Structure 1
Amino acid sequence: MKKPEKPANNRLRILFILNRRSGNRNLNDLLEIIEQKSKSHPFEYSTYFLDTFSSDLIRKEIFNYKPNIVAVAGGDGSINLIATILAGTQIPLGIIPFGSANGMAKDLEIPVDIKESIEILLTGSIKKIDLIKINDRTCLHLADVGLNARVVNRFEKDINRGLLTYVKHLFGEMFFLKNYVFHIVYDGKKIRKKGVSITFANASKYGTGAVINPEGQLDDGKFEIVLVKPFPRIKLFSIAWKMFSNKLHTSDYVEIFSCKKAVVYSNKKTTLQIDGEVIGKVKEIRLESQEKVLNIIVPHYHSSKHS
């Protein structure tokens, strides 16, 4: 772990990329706090509003401003976009949770409080983490197909959080439950499994608080394939409870495979979502771990627990 580097004049330069469409928080409060913090710590900063998801425009802004840190105020989709741009560079990514669920921020233990999250930009450590390349797209956090993708999509539109809200949407989706046959080729092995969903996990938990990948590590050079097998409806609450109590791996209806590279074939088309963004319906999913290609700023308490 190391600190973000400062320029020769010893003043940090932060580019804040702000998505005003994320969540329902007050952007004016954020701008006011940034200005206050720049005076008390002093650092230089510039703001860029993410009104269009144009990688070329963002790269140009980064090239012109030459920041020491690029900080994103947005949800997982905004963070994914900037992570894709910064991957392979030395510029660290900072996160200000501003979305409705903020799954990646929860995984990194970054608080939703704006002042605290900006403080972490200034005092935190840099951690090198992996990404997953999925069908030529970047996954920073979690991707999935099947049941859980639909539940998470419904959950993130709900103003309520927690286990009961998750279960409510899980019950709602049970009426549309589909079983798939997945052919999985990973690290030289071939298996055939029936399932209702598969999660491709670089991290461990959703913004809902549900832990899908209890032993997931962001910097181990691997990702996990989490298969949820067909289950009787009577087991619904039990599975949800295990997700929220960090014990999903103990369920008889869950199998987890760690790997560096994989291809998953589905017997019928299913919706793929990556970091909260619906990509479309697919039958073939190609995955490969990209080891430690992104610098990200984390709190000291996270780096000491997970290093």
Structure 2
Amino acid sequence: MEVRHLRYFLALAEEGNFTRAARSSRIAQSALSQQIARLEREVGADLFVRGPGRVTLTPAGDVLLPHAGRVVADVDAAQTALREYHGLERGHLRIGLIQTASSAFDVTETIARFHHEHPRIDVQVHNASSTKMLDELKAQRIDLAIVALGPGDVPKDLSAEVIAVDPLVAVVASSRLPVHGDAISVGHALELGPLIGFAAGTGVRRHVDAAIARSGSRAQVVFELSQATDILAFAAAGLGVAMLPETLARAAENPDLLVLPLTDCEAVHFVTLVDDPRRRSTAGNAFRALLQAHKQTDDRGHKIVLDVLTGC
């Protein structure tokens, strides 16, 4: 049973006349008669009583009428929804976002612009650790994620594109060290006190742990916190040393904090767009394009990416 046959059936039931039904269906009257006859053969019953100049429904036609109406209405609704979906007039976009992503790259501005350009797309933003968001991507609970992981840390079946890179810096209370602008080694930074950092599983913590491993040092992790503001506050109170993305550390503008560059050129914080290329939606592609248009393009950012990818 084809949908077009049901449309012809509904048109004839409404018009009660083959000539008018053919005109409203935009087909020849002979073609309409053939299609109605084919439908009747398929259902195994006459659907219309043919009279002079007028047709009426048989009992079988009365049974089919409401069902045919619902089927055609559902098909029309589906076609409309798909047209709106492809035209970004309807749909949803679920974004996973690390809390520090906006420090190295203004994802918030991109989300706001996307919402302004596509107001009928329902945008949902969910905060979680980078590793947690990878799990949510695989479970199809989010459509894309902004994570603090390098491309090499993302599973091969997912697509990863670096949108910003920020060097890691050491942050300590200014009272712990004379003010100077020289870079220090990771090992030296750890001599300034116990480590204050994000919890294990977060992207920043992963980068910090990798830098410590490269230095051959051991870190005493005393405080594991979930908020960057708390980490900076603990460091300002002289409770230890933190290692954070430079943009995030300097944005605090706290006179009680000293921000020290690290000599390890590989000690960086990646901000990476991750999604599943097999499940990309129209809304996701539009957001991705908008994000790429606003990607970090300053000379320092490009140099950092090049240095990291070539081993400094």
| Fold shared by both chains (TM-score > 0.5) | no
Q: Which has the higher strand share?
A: 1
The two structures have a TM-score, normalised by structure 2, of: 0.27
Determine which structure has more spread, i.e. the larger CA radius of gyration.
Answer: 2
Q: Which has the higher helix share?
A: 2
The two structures have a TM-score, normalised by structure 1, of: 0.28
